[in-house]
Copies of this chain bind each other. A is one copy, B any other.
Amino acid sequence: MAKRVGRYTLRMENKPSIVGYAAICGKKEGQGPLSQFFDKIYEDTTLGESSWEKAESRLQTEAVTTALRKARLQADGVDYIFAGDLLNQCISSTFGLRSLDIPFLGQYGACSTMAQTLALSSIFVDSGAARRCVAVTSSHFCTAERQFRFPLEYGGQRTPTAQWTVTGSGAAVVDQEGTGPYVQAVTIGRIVDLGIKDAANMGAAMAPAAATTLLDFFHDTGTKPEDYDLILTGDLGQIGSDLLYDLTQREGVSIGSKHKDCGLLIFDRQSQDVHAGGSGCGCAGSVLCSYILNQVREGTLKNILFMATGALMSTTSSQQGESIPGVAHLVQIKSRG
């Protein structure tokens, strides 16, 4: 049973273990620095499907089935799947996972979804409510552009603060039994809104939530950045990362030397023209469930904080002049329990 530490943090007591994980990505991600770590790279953004939305669903299907296969498990051995994505009514998840016949709990945390689904899977497994859960999320550049921004054919200019939505999916299988990586603790975030209204600057909108959750975690656990090998954020990008340093520094916490951001790891900003970095649920999902968990499994990283952030707005709220609320959820992952 998970044990409460401080106001916002739950410490796992029964070593929920990530027994399988997978990342499936698109062509641009396959041309980036993490190429060799992905389980599969599709050269065609449609994945051979008749729409981008079906392609994104397919990314989730493949991420889950690959993660299960790597864990030597079948879908019928999974008690619950926690899944979500950025599309209206989360259709990437519902259509991508409908054939698996696993009890389904749809999640919406925007780009924080990989942390949210992994957190819930871990809490369920740790408490005994489930023997085994799957956490999965995805994003797709073309579905996100169509839904949130402009038709691709329009060829709109991107602002320097804009981020590039990752075409990818990450999935992780969390089990009561296993040899790690282990989920050690979880901090669920509160919604934070400092009034940012620029929908082309998500990093700035999400950084205050990231700072809040990270400081909550340090306060609850009485630890500091030096106690961890890595503090990994989901997709703050360059601008959001810089803001996170500023906001935590104001509270006397220096994270700069320990921090990396999935949005800055997945693309080479110099050569890949992605402006402030990568974004989308699939960014944190695919980077965690490949390059990062590999290192935790091997023990190169022994104790990390994975914190994905979400911007909780819609095109309607932005058109109505609303600001962008952010949220961030944190999952501590260790190589040994």
| Bound: A110/B313 CA distance, A | 18
| Interface-side segment among A31-39, A61-69, A92-100, A231-239 | A92-100
Contact B312 A94 (CB under 8 A): yes
Judge whether A80 is part of the interface by a CB distance below 8 angstroms: yes
- Contact across chains for A1 and B312 when beta carbons are under 8 A apart: no
Selected from B128, B189, B193, B315, the residue in CB contact (under 8 A) with A88 is B315
Q: How many angstroms between the C-alpha atoms of A129 and B126 in the bound complex?
A: 9
Indicate whether A91 reaches chain B with its CB closer than 8 angstroms.
Answer: yes
Q: Tell me, yes or no, whether A198 is within 8 Å of chain B by CB.
A: no
Partner of A105, one of B2, B120, B315: B120
A104 in the interface, Cβ–Cβ < 8 Å? yes
Complex contact A190–B102 (CB within 8 A): yes
A172 to chain B, nearest CB (A): 18
Min CB–CB distance A134 → chain B (angstroms): 13
A106, CB-defined interface residue at 8 Å:
yes
In the complex, which range does the number of interface residues on chain A fall in?
35 or more
Q: A104–B2 contact, CB under 8 A?
A: no
- List residues of A (146-172) whose CB comes within 8 Å of B's CBs: 147
Q: How far is the CA of A8 from the CA of B4 in the complex (A)?
A: 28
In the complex, which residue of chain B has the Cβ closest to the Cβ of A123? B129
> Is A10's beta carbon under 8 Å from chain B?
yes
Q: Does any Cβ of B come within 8 Å of A180's Cβ?
A: no
This chain: copies in complex: 2
Q: For A86, list chain B residues within 8 Å (CB).
A: 89
With both chains docked as a complex, state the minimum distance between the C-beta of A327 and any C-beta of chain B, in angstroms: 6
Find A98's partner among B90, B108, B193 (CB 8 Å cutoff). Answer: B193
Enumerate chain B residues within 8 angstroms of A193, measured Cβ to Cβ: 98
Task: Tell yes or no: A191 within 8 A of B by CB.
Answer: yes
Q: Check B105 against A188 for contact (C-beta < 8 Å).
A: yes
CB-CB < 8 A to A141: which residues of B?
none
**Is B189's CB under 8 angstroms from A103's CB?**
yes
A127 touches B315 (CB 8 A): no
* A8 CA to B325 CA, complexed, in Å: 36
8 tightest Cβ-Cβ pairs between the two chains A and B: A127-B127, A94-B312, A106-B108, A89-B314, A103-B188, A98-B191, A88-B88, A88-B314
Partner-B contacts on A (CB < 8 A):
1-2, 4, 8, 10, 50-51, 53-54, 79-80, 84, 86-91, 94-95, 97-98, 101-110, 116, 120, 123-124, 126-129, 131, 147, 188-193, 312-317, 320, 322, 325, 327
